[in-house]
């Protein structure tokens, strides 16, 4: 079998071979090539020791931050390639980091430590595909299967449990039975895995084309990573709006939403506070205030997982307003754009659409056009260049101070003027705004 490697990776492999070492592209990059995808990054496995790799490529062309794991990053034309000496890992007393990394003599031993058969494949031009664990057949059949005994492999490194679910979601593969059982049974070990790694894997899982199915099937794994979601499981809503329980609705909403990590995480967390806010009146279930309770929990979850602060703020804002009704007028739309910013407002429309779709009742589905109506108004506001922010208002705090405004009165008056411009009661015209402000000066 012939695969076309990235020119840089090929150069690194050939250079090492010329010096008498073995070298292969290995892991995810080979998997992606076999799937006909362009790999994001290339890993190279070699028989050369790190010092030898450095000597071959020259100290000035390498970064050595991964040295204690046997990794040298070779930089070719500005692009980094991780070159790692064949190694095995032994003794995982903390379920997350090998106690020691041992260099080994062969590629075969190196492949054995890899997580799944589809990731335990290697390639170079000379020897072609090296597939000792049936990775190619699992790729063709769409199967995620641990290399060796899944119980052992998940006990060594609990992150692999979440990676199994992640690859299933991203590739649309099923997880082989024993591997799936081990993942569910050992899921609680995820509590020992670093928060950053959990966040990164969950983010990739949520982006996957089969995220909904994976969230439903591997709920135990998901709840081990985010225990706060547990109470949503099979929580009946008793609402004419909702066809599904809170967790199934959540899983479906993740699948429906268009956008990136912010929108995906928003859907995962948007109703997380519902179980805390449940009440029943005249036989109908209600969740008053769940948006704010969900935002509060979302904030705590994202903080624990060490999500970047700016990212977390966007998600928390979207969760807190996800169910806010917005009238179909440009004033109402501009008011929301002013409150959360135009880009987040655009995300909010995607969130609302996904929420409606995932409610799944005729009543909710009849509302899915609302996001489109709001989007039309939003686009018209942008096209016309309407003012909806203090920054765009043709009068500034300094102008009000010159008129005699003091302290917090200045800010209040600016907001009042903006509100009148948004309402259409005043044009965004400097003279008119000054005249209006003058009438109200104390």
Answer yes or no whether residue 87 interacts with ligand ATP by CB under 6 A. no
Answer yes or no whether residue 12 interacts with ligand ATP by CB under 6 A. no
Candidates 93-101, 154-162, 266-274, 322-330 — which segment interacts with ligand ATP by CB under 6 A? 154-162
Of 145 and 204, which has the nearer Cβ to ligand ATP?
Answer: 204
Answer yes or no whether residue 6 interacts with ligand ATP by CB under 6 A. no
Give the separation between CA 351 and CA 363, rounded to whole angstroms: 18
CB 202 within 8 A of CB 241: no
Select from 8, 28, 150, 255 the one that contacts Mg ion (CB under 5 A). 28
Of 159 and 295, which has the nearer Cβ to ligand ATP?
Answer: 159
Alpha carbon 394 to its chain centroid, in Å, reads 39
Q: State the nearest-atom distance from the C-beta of 41 to Mg ion, in Å.
A: 5
Q: x/- string (CB under 6 A) for ligand ATP, residues 269-308?
A: ----------------------------------------
Could you tell me the CA-to-CA distances from 105 to 51, 61, 85, 108 in Å, in that order? 16, 26, 9, 9
Of 115 and 386, which has the nearer Cβ to ligand ATP?
Answer: 115
Identify what 157 binds: Mg ion, ligand ATP, none; CB under 5 to 8 Å per kind.
ligand ATP
In the 8-state DSSP scheme, what is residue 385? Answer: T
Residue nearest to Mg ion (CB): 28
Of 42 and 247, which has the nearer Cβ to Mg ion?
Answer: 42
Helix (H, G, I), strand (E, B) or coil at 52: helix
Dihedral sign, CA of 35, 36, 40, 44? Answer: positive
Answer yes or no whether residue 43 interacts with ligand ATP by CB under 6 A. yes
Residue 235: count of CB within 10 angstroms of its CB: 17
Those residues whose C-beta lies under 8 Å from the C-beta of residue 242, and which sit 6 or more positions away, are 249, 359, 360, 361, 364
Kindly state the tokens that stand for 285.
Answer: 């279930």
Answer yes or no whether residue 119 interacts with ligand ATP by CB under 6 A. yes
Residue nearest to ligand ATP (CB): 28
Burial of 174-210, coded b for 16+ CB within 10 Å and e otherwise, reads bbbeebbebbbebbebbeebeeebbbbbbbbbbbbeb
Candidates 72-80, 156-164, 264-272, 394-402 — which segment interacts with ligand ATP by CB under 6 A? 156-164
Candidates 21-29, 108-116, 259-267, 332-340 — which segment interacts with Mg ion by CB under 5 A? 21-29
Give the separation between CA 115 and CA 117, rounded to whole angstroms: 7
Q: x/- string (CB under 6 A) for ligand ATP, residues 17-36?
A: ----------xx--------
Answer yes or no whether residue 114 interacts with ligand ATP by CB under 6 A. yes
Those residues whose C-beta lies under 8 Å from the C-beta of residue 353, and which sit 6 or more positions away, are 256, 257, 258, 368, 371, 372
Of 167 and 218, which has the nearer Cβ to Mg ion?
Answer: 167
Candidates 27-35, 352-360, 422-430, 434-442 — which segment interacts with Mg ion by CB under 5 A? 27-35
Give the separation between CA 374 and CA 117, rounded to whole angstroms: 47
Q: State the nearest-atom distance from the C-beta of 28 to Mg ion, in Å.
A: 4
Residue 360: count of CB within 10 angstroms of its CB: 16
Site of tokens 């980091």: 97
What residue ranges bind ligand ATP (CB under 6 A)? Answer: 27-28, 40, 43, 114-115, 119, 157, 159-160, 204
What residue ranges bind Mg ion (CB under 5 A)? Answer: 28
């Amino acid at each position: 079998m012939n695969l076309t490697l990235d020119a840089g990776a090929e150069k690194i492999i050939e250079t090492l071979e010329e010096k008498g070492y073995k070298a292969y592209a290995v892991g995810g990059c080979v998997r992606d090539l076999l799937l006909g995808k362009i790999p994001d990054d290339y890993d190279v496995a070699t028989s050369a020791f790190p010092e030898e790799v450095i000597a071959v490529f020259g100290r000035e062309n390498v970064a050595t931050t991964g040295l204690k794991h046997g990794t040298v990053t070779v930089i070719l034309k500005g692009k980094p390639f991780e070159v790692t000496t064949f190694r095995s890992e032994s003794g995982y007393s903390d379920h997350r980091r090998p106690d020691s990394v041992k260099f080994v003599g062969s590629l075969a031993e190196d492949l054995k430590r890899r997580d799944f058969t589809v990731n335990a494949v290697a390639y170079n031009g000379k020897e072609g595909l090296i597939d000792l664990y049936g990775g190619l057949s699992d790729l063709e059949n769409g199967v995620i299967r641990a290399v060796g005994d899944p119980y052992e492999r998940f006990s060594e490194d609990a992150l692999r449990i979440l990676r199994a679910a992640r690859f299933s979601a991203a590739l649309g593969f099923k997880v082989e039975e024993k591997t799936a059982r081990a993942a569910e049974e050992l899921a609680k070990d995820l509590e020992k895995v670093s928060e950053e790694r959990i966040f990164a894997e969950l983010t990739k899982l949520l982006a996957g084309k089969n995220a909904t199915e994976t969230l439903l099937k591997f709920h135990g794994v998901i709840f081990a990573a985010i225990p706060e979601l547990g109470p949503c499981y099979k929580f009946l809503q008793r609402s004419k709006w909702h066809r599904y329980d809170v967790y199934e609705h959540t899983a479906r909403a993740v699948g429906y939403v268009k956008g990136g990590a912010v929108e995906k995480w928003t859907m995962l967390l948007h109703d997380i506070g519902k179980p805390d806010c449940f009440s029943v009146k005249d036989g109908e279930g209600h969740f008053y205030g769940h948006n704010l309770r969900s935002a509060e929990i979302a904030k705590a979850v994202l903080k624990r997982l060490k999500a970047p602060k700016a990212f977390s703020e966007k998600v928390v804002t979207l969760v807190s307003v996800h169910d806010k009704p917005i009238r179909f007028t440009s004033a109402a739309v501009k008011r929301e754009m002013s409150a959360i910013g135009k880009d987040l407002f655009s995300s909010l429309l995607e969130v609302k659409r996904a929420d409606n779709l995932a409610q799944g009742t005729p009543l909710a589905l009849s509302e899915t056009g609302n996001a489109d109506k709001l989007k039309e108004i939003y686009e018209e506001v942008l096209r016309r260049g309407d003012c909806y922010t203090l920054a765009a208002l043709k009068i500034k705090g300094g102008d009000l101070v010159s008129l005699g405004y003091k302290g917090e009165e200045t800010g209040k008056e600016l907001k009042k003027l903006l509100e009148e411009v948004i309402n259409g009661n005043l044009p965004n015209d400097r003279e008119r705004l000054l005249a209006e402000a003058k009438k109200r000066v104390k």
